[in-house]
Amino acid sequence: MKLVCFDFDGTITRDDSLLEFIAYVVGFKKFFRGIFRLSPILLGYKLGLCSNNFTRRRLMVHFFGGMSVDKFAKICKKYSTTHIEDIIKFEAMAKIKEYIANGDKVVIVTASLEDWLAPWCKENGLELLGTKIEKKGGVITGEIDGLNCYGAQKVVRIKEAYDLSEFEKIIAYGDSRGDKEMLEFADEAHFRAFE
């Protein structure tokens, strides 16, 4: 059995699910107002001045901070089961189904929040390692619970979740800087395989 690790955003999707999910949750008016307010941070990220971790935390605190856990869970489930299919690359999903049919363990390893990917992953027979959002007293704080599942942290999470000796081979798919360490760690790496 092989362990096959797929990044999510950009690798098996056409769009970035974080921004699409935020717009879905808060509506386009609040989304664009928030993006404008956060534009210095977003520009800093594009220029390499702000880390992925810092930028993602600022986005989540701004848009989700103070929302009830129950409301967030309902929105995540609805988004996951009704919108994710619209951004999936057909070729990537076909490859995933091929691995599953061969009896391999397929896991999505992503910086995206587990909350909005878990229902979709469960529906498709996929395991999930993603970023967790902090919840306190029934409320979303917007902060990251633990570390962002990005870069080297992807490899850490894979090693924590699986006994690698059980697999004959580790295969990884990614499309960006955030997947570099996971691709280097794998026995077989595929960079931007579905473009």
What's the rounded Cα separation, in Å, for the pair 175 and 126?
19
Digitized pLDDT (tens) for each residue of the chain, 195 residues in all: 999 999 999 999 987 777 888 888 888 899 999 999 999 998 998 888 888 778 888 888 899 889 999 999 999 998 888 888 888 999 999 999 999 999 999 999 999 999 999 999 999 999 999 999 999 999 999 888 988 899 999 999 999 999 999 999 999 999 998 999 999 999 999 999 998
pTM of the model: 0.88
Q: For residue 23, what pLDDT is reported?
A: 87
Range of the domain at 54: 2-191
The reported pLDDT for the residue numbered 14 is 87
Domain count, the chain: 1
| Cβ within 8 Å of residue 40, ≥6 positions away | none
Coil, helix or strand for 50?
Answer: coil
SS3 at position 49: coil
CA angle 45, 115, 36 (to 5 degrees): 35
CATH of the domain at 27: 3.40.50.1000
What pLDDT, on a 0 to 100 scale, did the predictor assign at position 53? Answer: 79
Helix (H) or strand (E) holding 132: none
Contact assessment for residue 108 and residue 128, using Cβ atoms and an 8 Å cutoff: yes
| pLDDT given for residue 163 in this prediction | 96
Instruction: Give the model's pLDDT for residue 110.
Output: 95
Residue 43 CA to residue 38 CA, distance in Å, equals 9
User: What pLDDT score was predicted for residue 182?
Assistant: 98
